[in-house]
Structure 1
């Protein structure tokens, strides 16, 4: 018996020595020595100190000594991390029974606790017996009991926390995070409406989003997407991340606009939950939705679906002076009704194949239809005399489908903080559109002038985007991390637009103004990032290399290749750097820098004229160069009091070879004597943008939260183009306010507003915009200014209001009823001025003011971790690795 006891002690001691000083092939076996014979097991339960109820979502971190292979010294390292489930329990296995450990408990809304623990292995005295040996082995399975944590609204790092609720704003090293799942105005809407309440973002009348006066790249769950914002239901969005200055890890394309990452809701709790939603607006248009999530220890299944109807009513005015040899003036009025409906379906499965391997497969499918009915009147005045007017009736129908597939694999190495992941994404879409335009000219006395002009456009297109990426991360030491990876992105696009004219008794194809084309775009990249910390200073240095090529082809009517062009860009270097100084627990200072690129697209490069609009002919410029931007930011973040956060950011962007529109007049090409405007693109000399962005989230009192943001900036464009020199500069600003009132008995009220001062038109801006498959937002010139880099937007402002009633029942189910109205004072008017040496123009548009929306949602679920628990409790808890994959 004594020999058996001696053997057991020797085995335990050997395991401890091997865990602390790994030898041979065991050098990479993980933190704390997670070998199969390590038998130590800590478990316990986290409870509220006042209510003694289990606390969910507590981070349980265990640290101990580990041999650092870099410094060849013993260093404290993280051995395991878990997040407690609904019953507050945690369980950490495969630990050495020798030595001491530090257990740290932290949770939003609670004070952190750190305590030293050990197994306290005691050697039996006297002759060993079976009972004494059993007692000793039992000490390796230690129950820490109920660990009490004290509630306290506090600020943890860069996160603003109020009680246990999710904070509205969080600050990361390279991004700002806005939690929008509780936004009252979002119910029954699309992602476009969400963006209107995000500081730094502006949304125009067509739903186009700009970030600091440029269009950002849209990501969903950190991956590129072909979906537009109006195709993403707001009810499935969890948070929005603004990456204003992306690091070398991200694709360098997108110019100076940054990345807008939309994070969708996902179940992170064992058990099941789901919900149903329904709503209707004052135009009798409905929205329906539902989702169901099922999570076991190793599997997470998520399904959701939405159906939305919309009826959009718009009105517009435009006045244009043509500065030609024979001056003329045109006045245009536009009234339009657009009815659309779309369906969104999404599903995903996460499978934890082992404690180290996770597979994810996901898919989404979106389909929709848009019907547009538009009436226009165009009055023509020549040399001060009203000569005639046109009545234009256009009817259009557009249908689209979009589906995407995602395959992901992640492997965690035995060494803590080391992992490799691989992603494959395919996004495919197609669209069909049919437009008919009837134009009748009238004399001043309202008599008909000539025959009507009847036109028809039949078009469509399809695209496929392939993205493949591999990423590797390695926490070299506790204060340093290395990551590198590679990415390939391939895009195939095909489009056709056939133009027909009515002659005698039928429509006939007009080949000269029809077009078919395709293009292939390929970008290959590799990157590396190194992050390290020295006392209060944190550094992240990155480097990215990209190579790209572009091939565009015009097609014959039969579909065969007609003529093509190709552009290859050499290797480009994109460095990035982030330096952060932690002043104290509440304050941070950060300086960051990155270089990005905006490559020309097909229409900007295509050197063949597009005669779709004979009065405004588009032609590309195959000699365009990529536009490069160097961006600098200095940020100060201060969580100055409980539940509050102040962020100030000064930014500077310098772009060279700025791609901008250029308008010139030349012979039409279709007729011998007529001339027309040609819209093309050139590289301007440079542009400079700098500004100061301030945001402040503060709890005025227990029932009133107020968020204010302000952005003061200056944009200057320097362009030397034929026959003119453009120096366009304007100082501008915009401000946003979001005020939430928590009233009695589950009632809450949200009042938000924004003001946009006079701003310079974005480079290359204007155009018709807002369309699909070549269908612009308006006919003739009214759809938008045909601008060069000259022009500006007039000031505008609007206010929104929403109220919600919430119910929570004892069985865990909940419901809410919300009522909202946008632009409650009918003040949102989009007005633009643009000019060139050939014309000047003022246009204005208003869309969908004072729409009332009523929405109801119902949530259900059971988050008890024992719901799907297997007989083997320890095996089910899995040592916490499944929690690390959330």
Structure 2
């Protein structure tokens, strides 16, 4: 064995005052007499660290973290085959004003852990000026198109969480919700492509967890971030206060996309059963704007050294408004190309969407005397009130046809409650058992009211398109997982099994959704080749339950030629996924990761478009229509890979690049069988100039790809940013530009079937310029709390770094 005859150093880092474990503390190992470490790592969330494969000898070990004095241990003696346990190492905090804090240890931009990849957005310059959707564009394995649609490893079925908890805000409109969270409010983003049994089985693509900034540092401190721009504006305020064993964190953040005009051209050709050819040409523009905010307050109470209670309440809102004019020409010709009809019309459309949500959570965590033993009870409830309104009117310009129009009002309510109990029990130092149970109770109510325009300009209610749609879904789950180190720590293994039973009911006539059971196994096997190299193999079984919007039978007729609706008969999509990854870090600070994956989806849920010469909806006829809805269309098999590299070229210049590749095969019997290739490449360069001045550039290219019925467009965008820090790094000012040399991003796409083909061009204004301001304020007080002097070593907790780190 390669590690034979070599030793190991392990220990745990704890705050000397609070006795809380210190996460992300930097462990550095030096040869005696050397000023540069040759080995090291960061502590895990429980403060633990372990350095393996150390040659016998005499070493020096240091521990560093923000707000603490450096701890040095001289003459660390390692013997052949020995395991040197340093035990609990107490870090002494420093008492200082914020301006005196020196950031010694800073988490890297990308961290690759055994079960997740972590993108530390707080350390990324260009990420701070945009919204969450802009931050996601820089995360490895994540792809975001120009409209804000997110994919993880090429799969759009993603489970989104905020601080590890679900929120109904994501169910209303994911793209709008991600636009409402400023990047300056995000601490990190966790990407979990092979979730273990502890996680919900929902999301065949995996889980994306957005971690917002908070603080458990004693004292009062906070930060303000503001961005003003030509296309987007946002701001956030974060305030932290902690005294002794009680802390409060409050925040408010807002985001607005200023009015922008999108140009669009659409050309469709279709053939009806009689052989006549219909051509529809649409050309127009649409003005759109978007805004939203997030706010919340969190309370943390360390009741005893082993009992912690956390409560939070959050209020969120986002909305958008779109209005546009479209010129239309529809011609019908016979087989000899003789014109049978030529109609010119003008369509005026307007739509609004608004969502308000309230999130409440109560989390109780108990730790025990035995290291790693933990009990957690979590209750969350989220309530979202959504309203959508639309209007469209069609005036005919070259005949005597009567003006037609329709308007709709669609209020709804979504309430979701999660109750979970999790328990972790370490049987031995190398073998741990975890188990738990969870209930998810979801209730959605929706009312649709539709009015039809009359010849005299008034509206009358259309009873055939006015109805209520109520939907309830309950999920009951239990899980069991084990983790162990085998063959003298040669392999780390984590095996899990989760069982979920789903019941669904709806009051929509004729729709019966039977209950079903899901058994979801998962496995992760990891081997640490050396202190700087590791390899991981994982497997997970996941499902994608149809969400409310996908099954809602409401017809969206804002464009009478392009109508969409839900499918109440959708079945859940099922996925088997395998992933293999290799990671290596270097003493220079460079990091390299390469990974591959294989995923097969059954009952694959895809968007499908069907042409109709005449489509009758509740007694009203619509001509020359493309109807789009989701359906279970056979299988999808994906094979892909991801390459990430971060290289400090010099002490000032750092380059970072990510390449994502995927080959996808869709087999939809009776419809189509296609194989498509897609790739994404990005490059990030940052340079640290003297006098606290920094510059960064980021570019991203997404290729076009085939779909079942056409193509999705390619796109390229880039950001340039500079920042100057002053006032002892408490304040900063920055300038940022996106696509400064091109006003629009052109989006070409096609859709086709046996009797029709359609090509479209959308021109999206993406060029923008902005200025960012940030300020950190307050006092960090690490004074000793007499009420905590009696705490025992080994107490557990999850402290976070200060906001704005």
**Same-fold call, TM cutoff 0.5:** yes
- Aligned match of 1:755: 701
**Contact preservation (8 Å) 1:514, 1:612:** no
- Aligned match of 1:695: 644
Query: SS at 1:450's partner residue?
Result: coil
Deviates more, 1:322-331 or 1:232-241: 322-331
Query: SS at 1:512's partner residue?
Result: helix
CA–CA distance in structure 1, aligned partners of residues 574 and 410 of structure 2: 34
- Structure 1 residue 481 and structure 2 residue 423: aligned? no
- Structure 1 residue 330 and structure 2 residue 280: aligned? yes
CA–CA distance in structure 2, aligned partners of residues 271 and 48 of structure 1: 32
Where in structure 2 are the equivalents of 1:506-525 lying within 5 Å?
506-525=458-477
Query: SS at 2:217's partner residue?
Result: coil
Deviation at 1:884, TM superposition (A): 5.3
- Aligned match of 1:833: 750
Deviation at 1:758, TM superposition (A): 2.3
Deviation at 1:317, TM superposition (A): 1.9
Query: SS at 2:745's partner residue?
Result: coil
CA–CA distance in structure 2, aligned partners of residues 870 and 693 of structure 1: 48
Deviation at 1:270, TM superposition (A): 2.1
CA–CA distance in structure 2, aligned partners of residues 103 and 474 of structure 1: 35
The correspondence for 2:245, drawn from 287, 291, 298, is: 298
- Structure 1 residue 643 and structure 2 residue 589: aligned? yes
CA–CA distance in structure 2, aligned partners of residues 518 and 58 of structure 1: 48
CA–CA distance in structure 2, aligned partners of residues 481 and 817 of structure 1: 48
The correspondence for 2:789, drawn from 874, 881, 886, is: 874
**Contact preservation (8 Å) 1:62, 1:102:** no
The correspondence for 2:168, drawn from 201, 226, 230, is: 226
Q: CA RMSD in A?
A: 3.6
Structure with the largest fraction of strand: 2
**Contact preservation (8 Å) 1:103, 1:116:** no
- Aligned match of 1:390: 345
- Structure 1 residue 375 and structure 2 residue 325: aligned? yes
- Aligned match of 2:357: 402
- Cα deviation 1:248-307 (Å, max 9, x = unaligned): 21111222x111110111113222211122231125x64332111012331221011123
- Aligned match of 1:356: 306
Where in structure 2 are the equivalents of 1:589-628 lying within 5 Å?
589-602=535-548, 604-605=550-551, 615=561, 623-628=569-574
- Aligned match of 2:267: 319
Computing the radius of gyration over CA atoms, which structure comes out larger, 1 or 2? 1
Deviates more, 1:431-440 or 1:272-281: 431-440
- Cα deviation 1:557-611 (Å, max 9, x = unaligned): xxxxxx3633223322111111111110111111100111122345655679777
- Cα deviation 1:45-95 (Å, max 9, x = unaligned): x99999xxxxxx9999899xxxxxxxxxxxxxxxxxx997835399xxxxx
- Aligned match of 2:661: 712
Cα 1:297–1:511, aligned 2, differ >3 Å: closer, same or farther? Answer: same
Cα 1:144–1:719, aligned 2, differ >3 Å: closer, same or farther? Answer: closer
- Cα deviation 1:183-208 (Å, max 9, x = unaligned): 22233432111111112222122212
CA–CA distance in structure 1, aligned partners of residues 630 and 620 of structure 2: 24
- Structure 1 residue 259 and structure 2 residue 207: aligned? yes
Deviation at 1:225, TM superposition (A): 1.8
Cα 1:104–1:461, aligned 2, differ >3 Å: closer, same or farther? Answer: farther
Query: SS at 1:733's partner residue?
Result: strand
Where in structure 2 are the equivalents of 1:533-682 lying within 5 Å?
533-534=485-486, 535-554=489-508, 563=509, 565-602=511-548, 604-605=550-551, 615=561, 623-664=569-610, 665=612, 668=616, 670=619, 677-682=626-631
Query: SS at 2:268's partner residue?
Result: strand
**Contact preservation (8 Å) 2:485, 2:492:** yes
Deviation at 1:802, TM superposition (A): 1.1
Where in structure 2 are the equivalents of 1:99-178 lying within 5 Å?
164-178=105-119
The correspondence for 1:412, drawn from 367, 380, 383, is: 367
Deviation at 1:668, TM superposition (A): 2.1
Query: SS at 2:126's partner residue?
Result: helix
Deviation at 1:368, TM superposition (A): 3.8
Where in structure 2 are the equivalents of 1:721-870 lying within 5 Å?
721=670, 725-761=671-707, 789-809=708-728, 814-826=730-742, 828-866=745-783, 869-870=784-785
Q: TM-score, normalised by structure 2?
A: 0.82
- Cα deviation 1:162-195 (Å, max 9, x = unaligned): 9722210111111100100132223343211111
Residues matched between the structures, number: 717
- Aligned match of 1:86: 67
CA–CA distance in structure 2, aligned partners of residues 332 and 814 of structure 1: 53
Query: SS at 1:716's partner residue?
Result: strand
CA–CA distance in structure 1, aligned partners of residues 502 and 221 of structure 2: 45
Cα 1:179–1:672, aligned 2, differ >3 Å: closer, same or farther? Answer: closer
Deviates more, 1:398-407 or 1:374-383: 374-383
Structure 1: gaps (5+ residues): 1-30, 32-45, 51-56, 64-81, 91-100, 106-112, 119-141, 148-161, 555-562, 762-788
Cα 1:367–1:672, aligned 2, differ >3 Å: closer, same or farther? Answer: closer
**Contact preservation (8 Å) 1:430, 1:461:** yes
- Cα deviation 1:675-703 (Å, max 9, x = unaligned): 85554554323111001211111111111
Deviation at 1:808, TM superposition (A): 4.2
- Aligned match of 1:457: 408
